[in-house]
Structure 1
Amino acid sequence: MKKFGIVAVCLLLIGLIAGCGQQKKADDVLSVINNAKDTSIEQLIERAKAETGDFTVYSTSSKTDKTVKAFFAKYGLQGTGSGVKQNEKDFYSAIEKLIDGGSAEIDAVVTQNGASLSVELGAGNLINYNPVVPGAAKSDMYAFMYYFKEFAMDKKFDEQITNVWDLIDTSSAVYYRKAGEPINQLFMAALTTDAWAQKLSAAYDEKYGAGTCDSAVAAGNFKNAGYLFIDGFLKKATDYESEGKIASKIVVDAEKPVIGFSPVTKYSTGAEGTYNKVKFFNKMKGFNGYAYKFYTQIAKTTDRPYTAMLFINYLSTAEGIATYQEGNGVYSTNSMVQQDIDSLLDGFVLENYTDVKSDWASIVKLLEGYN
C-alpha cells in the first residue's frame, strides 16, 4: 500500500509541476505581448526572424494555410508556417484541448463567432493583440475583416425585396441556414437589441401602417419587433446544409423564384462567374444584410509570439487581406485599407456579442426551437 501511495504522490507532484510550467509559459507569452504592444513593424520583423520552429494557425477557413505560407515567404522567416482548418462546430473545443494540454502546436487562430471567442479570451487561452500598422482598428477582440452575408435571387426573376418583412410575405421560397451555423445565431440575436428592434418596427409600420407593429408585438406576446421578425422569418425559411450550396445550387439558375441567404463571396467572380447572375437585396427597409467578423488572436502556448504579432499585422494590411480572401463582400477593418468602410457597413447588422451577452443563453434556446 505504501508503494502505491508513493506512486500516487509522485504522479500528483509531476502533474503540479507540469501545470506550473504551463502557467509560467502562458504568463511569459502574455508579458511579451503586453510589452510589445507599441513595438514597430521593423522590430517585430527582426524578432520574428530570430524565432524558430513551426508556426501553426488554427482556423475555420481553408484560406488560412495559403496566407500563412505567403506571410512566411514575404518576411523570410525560419521554420514552417501552415494553417489547419477546423470545422466551425468543433473549432473551440479542439483548440481548447490543445491549449489546456500545453501544446505548442497552436500559435494563433483565425476564426469567427465572437460569443465563443469571448469565452476563450476570458479563460486566458487566447490573448488579444491590436496591430500597430496605420489605420488598424483597436478592440478587446481584434478582428481584421468583415464578411458580408446578403439575400439574393437569380436576375431572371422580376421580384424585388425592398423591406425585410417582404422576406416573410413573399411567395418565393427562402433558404437560410439555421442549424449548424452559430454565426447566424448572432445575426438573429442582434435583431433583438433596442437599436435594430426600432428599425424593424419602423419598417413594419411603413409596410403595414402606423402602429401596426406595436399591435402585432402585443398580440404575439413578443418582447419587441426583433422577436416578432425572428418568429415569422424562421418559420418561413427553409434550412439547408450549406450556405455555399444555397448560393450555387439553390439560387443560381433556379427554375422557380427562390431567395437565398449566404456570404457574397459564395458567388464566383469573373466572366463565367455566378456573381453577375444574381441580384442582391441589400437596400431594404429594416436592414441590408449581416456583416460579421473574422478575428485573429494569439494562443497562450505559442513558442513564436513575435511571429504571431507580425502575422496579425500582415492580415491588417492591403496585401494581407488580398492574399487571404479575394472577391466581393470582404472588407478590411483597417480604415486606411478600406477607406469607405463606414459607408459600406451602413444598414448592415454588425456582429456584436457584447450587446446580446446578457440574453444570449435564452436567445440561443429560442433559436434552437426553430431548427
Structure 2
Amino acid sequence: MTLTRLAPLGLLLASTASAQSFDLDALVAAAKTEPPITIYDSTGKIVDMAEAFSAKYGLKATGQKVSANSQLEMLIREAQAGNVQGDVALLTDTPAALAQLLPTDILQSWVPPDLEADIPEAYRSPLAISTNANVWVYNTEKYSECPVSNIWQLTEADWRGKVALIDPLTKGSYTDWFNQMATHGNDKIAAAYQTLYGKPLETDQASAAAAWLAALAANAPLMSDGDDRISEAVGAAGQADPFIGLVSSAKFRDNADKGYKLGLCSGLNPWMGWTYTKLGLIATGTDSPNAARLFIHYVLTEEGILPQMLDGKIPTSSKITLPADEPSGISAHLDKLFAYDASTGLDDWETRQDWQDFWQLNHSR
C-alpha cells in the first residue's frame, strides 16, 4: 500500500487501498515518521483520547478542546495562512463543513478501507464518526414517568413557561434540527397532532414542523446558552414544579455527579429527541497525513470512541454498541430518535438565518 500526502480530491478523499489490500501496520509505520498531530474536538474527552492513541501507537498526538464555531474560524485561518495546526477536526457542525470546509479543500474526508463496510453509507460522505443526541427529559423524583407523551403537549397551557431548551439563536444545530424536521419529519409531526387531538392539523404555517415550532416558541420556553442550566431546571432534587427540558444525553452524568433526577422521555410521540453528526475530517495541508489517517481509524474502533460513548455519543460503526453503564440508557431507544440526514445539510446551512428569524418572531417571554 502506498501512503502519500493528502491531495485536494474534493468532497470525499479517494481510498488509498481496497479493504483487502489495506495495511494497518504500514500506516502505523508511516505515521511514526511524521511530526506530532493535534486533534480539535468540542469535548474535553479528546485530551484523554489523544493520550490513549499516543500510548497505543508510540507516537505523539495532542487533543485540544475547541468549540465548533471556533474550529471553523481556526481551520479557515490556518489554511489561508498555510500554517496548519489542527491536523484532525472532529466537528459537530456538518452543514458548515459541507458549505465552507470541504468544497474549498480545507478539510478532506477519508474512510478507512478495512472499516468502510461497518459504516452505513449515509455516514461515509463525509465521514461521521458518531451521532450526538439531544433528548427530552423529566424529573423522576416528581414524576413516576414522563408527564407528556406527545410533543404537541409541550405547546399547551399546562406547560407554558415550563419547557427549557437551548436558545436557537446561539446554536446552529438547533436551527438545523428545525429545517430537518420541516424537510424530513412533517408527516410524523402531523400524525402526532392527530393522535393527540383526534383531528387533522390545520395551519397557515408552511409545514407541520413550523406549526409546532411556532406554538412551542409562543409558549414562553426557558432558553439557555448551555445545557447546565437546563439540566438543573429539570433534574435538581427537591423541586415542587420542575421543568421538562431538551438536553444532550451527556448530561445524564449529572445524576451521579450532582444528585440530579433526570429521566428519559422515551415514549414521546413522534420522537424522544434528535441527533446531529460529528464528522471526522483531515486537514488538507497537514504535514502528518498518515498519523491523521491513523487517528481517524482509531476513533472508528470501540477502544478509540469509548470515552465519548460514556457520554451517550452513538458510534456510527455498526460493530460498536454503547456500553451497558452509559448513564442515559439511550441505547434501548435509538429508534425513537429523529436522525440527522446530511444529504440536505447544505439547505440546513442556507436556512439558518430564516429559522432564527422565525423563532424570534414567534417567541413569547
Q: TM-score, normalised by structure 1?
A: 0.81
1:203 aligned onto 2:192: yes
The structural deviation recorded for 1:363 is 5.0
The structural deviation recorded for 1:280 is 1.3
Q: 1-side partners of 2:84 and 2:194: how far apart? A: 56
1:160 aligned onto 2:118: no
The structural deviation recorded for 1:272 is 5.7
The structural deviation recorded for 1:206 is 0.9
The structural deviation recorded for 1:26 is 6.2
1:252 aligned onto 2:236: yes
1:92 to 72, 80, 87: 72
Q: 1-side partners of 2:276 and 2:177: how far apart? A: 8
CA shift digits 1:117-143 (9 cap, x unpaired) = 112111111000112344234411111
1:349 aligned onto 2:338: yes
The structural deviation recorded for 1:110 is 0.7
1:68 aligned onto 2:19: no
CA pair 35-334 structure 1, distance change in 2 beyond 3 A: closer
1:106 to 82, 86, 111: 86
Q: 2-side partners of 1:26 and 1:129: how far apart? A: 10
CA pair 128-286 structure 1, distance change in 2 beyond 3 A: same
Q: TM-score, normalised by structure 2?
A: 0.83
CA pair 64-190 structure 1, distance change in 2 beyond 3 A: same
Q: Number of residue pairs matched?
A: 333
Q: How does 1:88-237 map to 2 (within 5 A)?
A: 88-119=68-99, 120-134=101-115, 135-138=118-121, 139-158=124-143, 160-169=147-156, 171-172=158-159, 173-178=162-167, 179-193=169-183, 195-211=184-200, 213=201, 215=202, 217=203, 221-236=204-219, 237=221
SS state at 1:42 partner = helix
* Residue in 2 that maps onto 1:338: 321
Flag the structure with larger Rg.
1
The structural deviation recorded for 1:320 is 0.7
Q: 1-side partners of 2:141 and 2:119: how far apart? A: 41
CA pair 339-271 structure 1, distance change in 2 beyond 3 A: closer
The structural deviation recorded for 1:90 is 2.8
The structural deviation recorded for 1:342 is 9.7
Q: 2-side partners of 1:112 and 1:124: how far apart? A: 18
The structural deviation recorded for 1:265 is 1.0
Partner AA of 1:233 in structure 2: L
Q: 2-side partners of 1:267 and 1:35: how far apart? A: 38
Shift >4 Å, 4+ stretches? 269-275, 339-344
Q: 1-side partners of 2:233 and 2:352: how far apart? A: 31
Q: 2-side partners of 1:117 and 1:306: how far apart? A: 22
* Residue in 2 that maps onto 1:261: 246
Q: 2-side partners of 1:91 and 1:310: how far apart? A: 21
The structural deviation recorded for 1:364 is 3.1
CA shift digits 1:194-225 (9 cap, x unpaired) = x41000000001111232x0x2x2xxx21120
Partner AA of 1:163 in structure 2: N
Q: 2-side partners of 1:83 and 1:282: how far apart? A: 34
User: 2:148, 2:154 within 8 Å by CA — same for their partners in 1?
Assistant: yes
User: 1:321, 1:332 within 8 Å by CA — same for their partners in 2?
Assistant: yes
The structural deviation recorded for 1:332 is 1.1
The structural deviation recorded for 1:369 is 4.2
User: 1:186, 1:353 within 8 Å by CA — same for their partners in 2?
Assistant: no
CA pair 27-43 structure 1, distance change in 2 beyond 3 A: same
Q: 1-side partners of 2:175 and 2:234: how far apart? A: 22
Q: State the identity %.
A: 20
SS state at 1:204 partner = helix
SS state at 2:196 partner = helix
Name the structure with the higher helix share: 1
* Residue in 1 that maps onto 2:269: 285
